[in-house]
Structure 1
Amino acid sequence: MVTVRRLLVGFVELAVTVGLVLLLFAGYELWWTNRAADAGARSTVARLEREWQAGAAAQASAPPGPGGTGAPAPGALAGGPLTVGGPSGSGIDRMSRDLTAFAVLRIPSLGIVFPVAEGVGKQTVLNHGYIGHYPGTAMPGQPGNFAVAGHRNTHGEPFRHLDRLRVGDTVLVETAGWIDNYRIDSILPQTSPSDVDTVAAVPHSALHPGGGYGYRVPGSYLTLTTCTPDFTSLYRMVAWGHLVAAQQRTAS
C-alpha cells in the first residue's frame, strides 16, 4: 500500500512538473518570441527609415551627374542593403546582428509595418519577426513576382491578420530609393504547401485553376504567403497584387 501511494505521489509530482514546463514553453512561444521579434523588427524599420532619409537628403543636395539626377531605377536598392540589430549589447541585437533587411512592407488597412530580408528560413529570417523574400523571385518594383512569406503566429507574427486583407487593399514596399504601390487583386484562403506556382514569375494556383487566383500574363506582381489555419502549418494562405505606381523617395 505504501509503495502504491509513493507511486501515485511521484506520478502527480511528475505531471505537475511536466505541466509547468509546458506552460512555460507556451508562454515563451506566445509572449516572449513575439515581444523580442517585434522589438527587433521595429528597431530595424526605424533604422532603415533614418538611413534612407539621410540618403535621399544627400542625393537631393548633390549636383546632378552626367546622366541627370543619378537617381536609381525603380526597385533598385540604392546604397545597398543594411545589416541591422537592436540596441548594442541587448538580447535583440545578439538575435539579429547577422540579419540583413533591404525593404519595409506596409499594409495600411491592417497596420502592418515590418522589415523584409532575403530568404524564408525560420531560424535565419522568419523567427526574427521579419518578412522573408523568396530567393529567385523578383525584387520590389521589378518585372516578375516579388514573393514574400511571414509568420501568422509567434515570432512577431507579421501576417497575424492577413485573413482580413481584402481585394483592393494597398500594399507599400519601400526600399532605399523607391516606394512601390501594389493593389491586391485576388486572395486564396487555403491551398497546399505543394502549390508552388503561387510564387512563380507569373503567379497562380495550379491546384485551384478555376478560381481566378493569380495571373496568366507577365507583369510586376506581389505575392504574400502565410500558414493557415492559426497555430498550424498545414496549409498556405496566398494573396496577390500588381504594381500600380512607383514613387521615388524624396527628402522631407
Structure 2
Amino acid sequence: MTAVRPEHEFDPLTDPLPAGGHGSPWFRADNIAQGGTQYEVQAQQAQVSGDAYARVADVPAAPPQEWYAEPAVDPVPAPGPPLPDPVPAPVPLAEPEPDFVPYDDATMALKRIAEPPARPTGGRAERRRAAKARGHRAPSGSAAAPAEPVASGRPPTRAEARRAAKARKDSPAVVASRIIGELFITLGVVMLLFVTYQLWWTNIRAHQQAGSEAKKITHDWASGKQAPGAFEPGKGFAIMHIPKLDVVVPVAEGTSKHKVLDKGMVGHYGQGSLKTAMPGDKSGNFAVAGHRNTHGEPFRYINRLKPGDLVIVETQQAYYTYAISGMLPSTSPKNVSVLKPIPVGSGFTRPGRYLTLTTCTPEFTSTYRMIVWGKMVDERPRSKGMPDALAG
C-alpha cells in the first residue's frame, strides 16, 4: 500500500511550480509527467495518494493556454460611412512689393506696406502719430474720417464725404493770401512790361520817327520845298550832329512832349516868352531841349562833352559849328535865365551867337535840368561842302 503524505504537504500555498521551476524541496520531478499542466499534476498526485479530497473528477478542467502567448491586439472598430474629401484652404494672393519701405514711427522699425495707410479714426494719440507720418501735425480734436477707406474698400458715408470735402476746402486766410500773391505777380508783370516799353520800345519807335523826319527834311531841301523863315510847331527844319557822341537828330520847332520830344527829335525854344534865336541870326542864343532817357534819348550822354567838343547844326542854307565852352550840372526847371541871349551862368559877358542844350537830370527823372553851352566858331554855306568835323 502506497504511503500517504502528511496533510500539510498538500497545502495549496506550498504547491510546487510547474516543471522547469525553482528547486523547492516539495518538488519531485518523477511524480509529474513531463509537459503536464498544473491541473494534470494535481490529478496525478491525487491518484497516487488515493485521497478522495483530491480526486480527478473534482479537478475542474482548465482551458489550454500557452505560457508565452502573443499580446492581445486592440479590436478594429467597425468601418463607418466614408468621410468627405477635405476642402483645401484658400491660398492667399501674393501682395505686390511696395515701392517704398516706410518706418513705423512708434517703434522706429521698418515695415513693408502694400499701400499708404488709411487715415486713422481711433484715438487722439493714433491720429497724432498718423499726422506726424504724413509730415504735418494733426489739429487737436480732429476726427475727420477718410473720404475713401482703403482698408475696407467700402464707399465713404455722406458724413465722411462732407468732412473730407471740408478738409480739402481752403481756409479764408489761404484764399486771401493766394489772391494777394496773384495780385503782386500781376503787378510785377505789368511793371516789367511798362519798364520794357519805356526803356526799349520807346527808343525803337522814336528812332524810327526821327529817322523818317530826317529823311523828309533832306528831301525837302533837295527839292526846294522848304524855304527859310518861320517854321510851324512840330515841323523839322534842321539836323544836329554831335560827332563825339555819334548823335544825328532832327531839330523841330517847339518843345512839345508829344509832338516833338517823344518822337526822338530835339525841340527849339521858339514860342512865347521862351523864344530864342535861330542859328542864322547874327546875335542871340539858339536853345534846344531833348530827352536824356527813353524816347530816343538824344541827349543821354551830353554830360560827357568837354570844352572844345563840337556841335554842328545843319540847315537848308549852311552848317553852323559850335564849340562847347561850359556846363551847369544841375539847376531848377524854373531857371529860365539860362535861355537868355546872354545865358546867365555860362560865363559869356557880351552878345554873341551862342548854343544852349537842356535836358533832365538825374537820369530817369525830371527833378532838375542839366545845361551845356557852346559858342559858334564857324558858319559854312552848303555850297562849300561839309565841315571837316563831318567829312572826317
TM-score, normalised with respect to structure 1 = 0.78
Match of 2:359 among 222, 226, 229: 226
Q: Provide the aligned C-alpha RMSD in A.
A: 2.1
Q: Residue 45 of structure 1 aligns with which residue?
A: 214
Is 1:121 aligned to 2:256, yes or no? yes
119-128 vs 33-42, greater mean Cα deviation? 119-128
Is 1:151 aligned to 2:284, yes or no? no
2:383 counterpart letter in structure 1:
T
Deviation at 1:54, TM superposition (A): 4.3
1:100 counterpart letter in structure 2:
K
1:132 counterpart letter in structure 2:
G
Q: Residue 18 of structure 1 aligns with which residue?
A: 187
Does the CA contact (< 8 Å) of 1:141 and 1:243 recur in 2? no
Match of 2:381 among 225, 240, 248: 248
Aligned mates of 1:49, 1:111 — CA distance in 2 = 19
Deviation at 1:80, TM superposition (A): 6.0
Does the CA contact (< 8 Å) of 2:231 and 2:253 recur in 1? no
Rg comparison, structure with higher value: 2
2:315 counterpart letter in structure 1:
T
Structure 2 portions without partners, runs of 5+: 1-169, 386-392
Aligned mates of 2:239, 2:185 — CA distance in 1 = 45
Does the CA contact (< 8 Å) of 2:235 and 2:253 recur in 1? yes
Question: Percent of aligned pairs with the same residue?
Answer: 47
Aligned mates of 1:119, 1:128 — CA distance in 2 = 13
1:223 counterpart letter in structure 2:
T
Q: Mapping of 1:160-199 within 5 angstroms? A: 160-199=300-339
Structure 1 portions without partners, runs of 5+: 59-76, 84-97, 206-212
Does the CA contact (< 8 Å) of 1:177 and 1:249 recur in 2? yes
1:23 counterpart letter in structure 2:
L
Is 1:217 aligned to 2:386, yes or no? no
CA-to-aligned-CA distance 1:173-210 (integer Å, 9 cap, x gap): 111111111111111111121221111111123xxxxx
Aligned mates of 1:106, 1:81 — CA distance in 2 = 22
Does the CA contact (< 8 Å) of 1:34 and 1:156 recur in 2? yes
Q: Residue 6 of structure 2 aligns with which residue?
A: none
Aligned mates of 1:214, 1:223 — CA distance in 2 = 13
Does the CA contact (< 8 Å) of 2:234 and 2:254 recur in 1? no
Q: Equivalent residue of 1:204, what SS?
A: coil
Q: Which runs of structure 1 show a deviation greater than 3 angstroms over 4 or more consecutive aligned residues?
A: 77-83
Q: Residue 245 of structure 2 aligns with which residue?
A: 110
Is 1:200 aligned to 2:340, yes or no? yes
1:128 counterpart letter in structure 2:
K
The aligned length equals: 211
CA-to-aligned-CA distance 1:76-111 (integer Å, 9 cap, x gap): x7456888xxxxxxxxxxxxxx94101111111111
1:134 counterpart letter in structure 2:
Y
Q: 1:197–1:80: structure 2 CA closer, same or farther, 3 Å change rule?
A: closer
Does the CA contact (< 8 Å) of 2:285 and 2:343 recur in 1? yes
Q: 1:225–1:163: structure 2 CA closer, same or farther, 3 Å change rule?
A: same
Does the CA contact (< 8 Å) of 1:78 and 1:177 recur in 2? no
Q: 1:247–1:153: structure 2 CA closer, same or farther, 3 Å change rule?
A: same
Q: 1:42–1:82: structure 2 CA closer, same or farther, 3 Å change rule?
A: farther
Deviation at 1:230, TM superposition (A): 0.7
Does the CA contact (< 8 Å) of 1:191 and 1:237 recur in 2? yes
Q: Equivalent residue of 1:152, what SS?
A: coil
21-30 vs 46-55, greater mean Cα deviation? 46-55
Deviation at 1:120, TM superposition (A): 1.3
Q: Equivalent residue of 1:120, what SS?
A: coil
Does the CA contact (< 8 Å) of 2:286 and 2:356 recur in 1? yes
Q: Equivalent residue of 2:320, what SS?
A: strand
Q: Residue 208 of structure 1 aligns with which residue?
A: none
Q: Residue 72 of structure 1 aligns with which residue?
A: none
Q: Equivalent residue of 2:383, what SS?
A: coil
More strand by share: 1
Aligned mates of 2:342, 2:258 — CA distance in 1 = 28
